[in-house]
Structure 1
Amino acid sequence: MKAAAAALAAGLAVLLMIPAASFFYEAGGPEACARCHEMGAPVGEWRHSTHRGVPCSACHGDALTADPRFHLTNARRVVEHWRGEAGARGQLGPAEIRAMLPRCQKCHQQEFASWSSGPHAIAYRSIFLDEKHNSSRHLMDDCLRCHGMHFDGGIRDLVEPLSTKGPWRLRRAELMEAPAIPCMTCHSIHRRGARHEDRRLEAKVSGPRQEKFRPSLAFFDRRSMAPVEVALLPLPDMREKGRPVKMSPDPRQALCYQCHAPLSTREVFSGDDRTPAGVHEGISCLACHDRHRQTTRASCANCHPRLSNCGLDVEKMDTTFANKNSRHNIHTVKCADCHPKGVPARRPRMAENLD
């Protein structure tokens, strides 16, 4: 009986160590977190970030979080810390990134709804089990640079077989419906900047003094496992048949180019590039594409009057905006594409045409 009681007590002690370790890790707020050297830098960044008014527990959970995996992770971190095995900086794992999504949604409901209904909310299943793609191109580790940058492994740990002959399956079944491009792909919540509450006064500030973009914009670099802020991301020097292409100075599109990139030739529309040329040369990606949903429905009306210089409705012209099968791609269409014998003189807009 004594042996059984001792075993039971030992078992209970082990079980209680998990929530106790989690409580130790989370209790006391950021000051307690910062006592661990691996958490000092993230906490220091948080103190000056746009989210500094949001407690750590709101995004990362706390001792009362119901998910047992959360507490197991914290217990593991405490053990690693005591053993001196913790890294110089704490890193969020893929499960923790996924767990943060509904917490992002709680405060950023409109942005989350737009992202959820757009192409960047695509699931691992849709990307890595795509028969058309997989049968024509080999899957490789570089795929994870843009599609699954938070995945904790290589491509062979995610999909099998690594050949052009299927059927293919995900080795991590829990990722089937998980988003491959979550919020933290393009946003870093610890970036320095004005608090969201302080932005209410922005409308009273003159245009040149207003911020151009949210400081949280940053690309998560899978190689360094760290976000790179937009200000440090370069815009490519693009060419069209050797001719330099005028680029928009909008720094936000540097984020787009990290994945929608040209080949080494820097030729417009090579690789996954979508650099505007022709009549839209010099326009930013974000001038036409909604930030989170990527829709373009309102893009023409944002810049154009109802009629073009030709006197035609710009939304009904023969381009891929009106018809995805059009041979005139909206990114590169030129006047000469429709007027091979010469561009006609600009027509004056008649009052009756505007009715």
Structure 2
Amino acid sequence: MISKLNPKKLILILSVLIFLILIFSGSIYVWWNSAPAEKTCSSCHEIVPSVQSHRQSSHRNVSCSECHGTALSCGIHSLREKGSMVIYHISSRVDVVRLNEKQILEVMGNCIRCHTFEYAEWKQSGHSAKYSDLFLDTTHNKSEQLHPDCLRCHGMFYDGHIEDLVEPLNIEGPWRLRETGTAVMPTMPCMACHKIHSPGNISSSPDYSNPKEIYYSGQRSLSQVFFYDRHEKTHFRAEDLPKLKLWERNREVSVSNEPIMRTCIQCHAPDARHMAGTSDDRTPRGVHEGISCIACHEPHSNNAAGSCKYCHPAISNCRQDVTLMNVSYSDKNSTNNIHWVSCSNCHTDNKKKRI
């Protein structure tokens, strides 16, 4: 019957059908992206925990699509990804939904839209290192063989194992990344220390009618810093991490109880014996014993360039400008590491000088 239709009528009918399909599909698309989560995302049982945690987070007023995108937000790539998710959902049983590394970085790209300053600070820090910066470092690789535990801090979200990432696993080299696309990918994205769906409150102004109570009535909120454990595949809040027990010979070192420092110590940690100064331990000792990392290091950038002047007067008890003392703060070649410099490093006569 279709073959007997006038070509013009056939074209008209097909055009109308295509138009109706587009209208119907567009309506479904708009409805899906604007409807409440109960009728869309959380209708799948695997997503319910994520939706519930999102409602308790400081991002509760940000829609799912703002961070996770839509089926068309990145063109064909998004359409293919969302389509594969539907197929995977139908064909397999998934109890816990987790983002892979590429999806983590895509969400991180959306974080930048609101957290521009934080991203700029992170970008200039040591934590923005790419896979090529760390795993193709000839000097390091010749002194210490690459190990699966490297990914515990430098590649928390990497989907494979160390042998899938780089070869050869020896100290001779030359080394190369097995997947060229990983070379420019950051090893420590935002989600290494932040859990987006973590419980939190939206900032609000205090009660200005009672100014004396502004300080005392304010409740100290939990930190928004976490540590992502690659093996457990989950985030641990800084407050829930254990406090470091550290020893200097037979003496226990006083370590700050500040929660964020517990996150730092997960990677900048001593050896298995918990001896101060071993492995990548940078816990303050000497004149700075007991203070926290964040007392000197700014968040995200980790810059400590101006930290001395925040605590010290221009002229110290030694009658010297503390920013010019012979420590690694001002001179990278100094033997007096700023993290554990003590009075005896400079005053060998053990005499206390007073003004």
TM-score, length-scaled by structure 2: 0.86
Asked which structure has the greater CA Rg, the reply is 2
Q: 1:235 aligns with which of 218, 229, 243?
A: 243
> What one-letter code is carried by the residue in structure 1 that aligns with 2:158?
F
> What one-letter code is carried by the residue in structure 2 that aligns with 1:342?
N
Contact between 1:46 and 1:190, CA under 8 Å: does it hold in 2? Answer: yes
Q: Which runs of 5+ in 1 are unaligned?
A: 3-15, 348-355
> Matched residues in 2 for 1:86 and 1:72: separation?
20
Contact between 1:26 and 1:63, CA under 8 Å: does it hold in 2? Answer: no
Judged with a 3 Å threshold, the aligned counterparts in structure 2 of structure 1 residues 200 and 151 are, in CA distance, closer, same or farther, namely: farther
Partner of 1:12: none
> Matched residues in 1 for 2:157 and 2:29: separation?
26
- Report how far residue 183 of structure 1 moved: 0.3
Partner of 1:297: 305
Contact between 2:239 and 2:259, CA under 8 Å: does it hold in 1? Answer: yes
Contact between 2:238 and 2:260, CA under 8 Å: does it hold in 1? Answer: yes
> Matched residues in 2 for 1:246 and 1:290: separation?
22
Partner of 1:170: 177
Partner of 1:81: 89
Q: Which secondary structure state, in structure 2, belongs to the residue aligned with residue 252 of structure 1?
A: helix
- Report how far residue 160 of structure 1 moved: 1.3
Quick check: 1:271 aligned with 2:275? no
Partner of 1:341: 349
Contact between 1:93 and 1:152, CA under 8 Å: does it hold in 2? Answer: yes
> Matched residues in 2 for 1:33 and 1:326: separation?
56
Moved more, 198-207 or 123-132: 198-207
Q: 2:332 aligns with which of 314, 324, 332?
A: 324
The two structures, once aligned, show a CA RMSD in angstroms of: 2.5
> Matched residues in 2 for 1:25 and 1:254: separation?
44
- Report how far residue 133 of structure 1 moved: 1.4
Q: What are the within-5 Å matches in structure 2 for residues 1-355 of structure 1?
A: 27=33, 28-31=35-38, 32-83=40-91, 85-195=92-202, 198-201=203-206, 205-206=214-215, 209-211=218-220, 214=223, 216-347=224-355
Cα deviation, 1:257-291, whole Å, max 9, x if unaligned, reads 11001112211111111010110001100001111
Contact between 1:25 and 1:33, CA under 8 Å: does it hold in 2? Answer: no
Cα deviation, 1:45-73, whole Å, max 9, x if unaligned, reads 00000110111111110133124333323
TM-score, length-scaled by structure 1: 0.86
Contact between 2:71 and 2:78, CA under 8 Å: does it hold in 1? Answer: no
Judged with a 3 Å threshold, the aligned counterparts in structure 2 of structure 1 residues 338 and 234 are, in CA distance, closer, same or farther, namely: same
> Matched residues in 1 for 2:220 and 2:111: separation?
22
Judged with a 3 Å threshold, the aligned counterparts in structure 2 of structure 1 residues 55 and 202 are, in CA distance, closer, same or farther, namely: farther
Cα deviation, 1:165-209, whole Å, max 9, x if unaligned, reads 2221111211111111100000000000102xx245499741684
Aligned residues, how many? 327
Q: Percent identity?
A: 39
Cα deviation, 1:228-279, whole Å, max 9, x if unaligned, reads 1112111211111111111112111111011001112211111111010110
Contact between 1:29 and 1:55, CA under 8 Å: does it hold in 2? Answer: no
Judged with a 3 Å threshold, the aligned counterparts in structure 2 of structure 1 residues 188 and 57 are, in CA distance, closer, same or farther, namely: same
> Matched residues in 2 for 1:64 and 1:341: separation?
72
- Report how far residue 123 of structure 1 moved: 0.7
Judged with a 3 Å threshold, the aligned counterparts in structure 2 of structure 1 residues 200 and 96 are, in CA distance, closer, same or farther, namely: farther
> Which structure 1 residue ranges, 4+ long, deviate > 6 Å from structure 2?
none
Q: Which secondary structure state, in structure 1, belongs to the residue aligned with residue 271 of structure 2?
A: coil
- Report how far residue 124 of structure 1 moved: 0.7
- Report how far residue 42 of structure 1 moved: 0.7
> Matched residues in 2 for 1:187 and 1:339: separation?
43
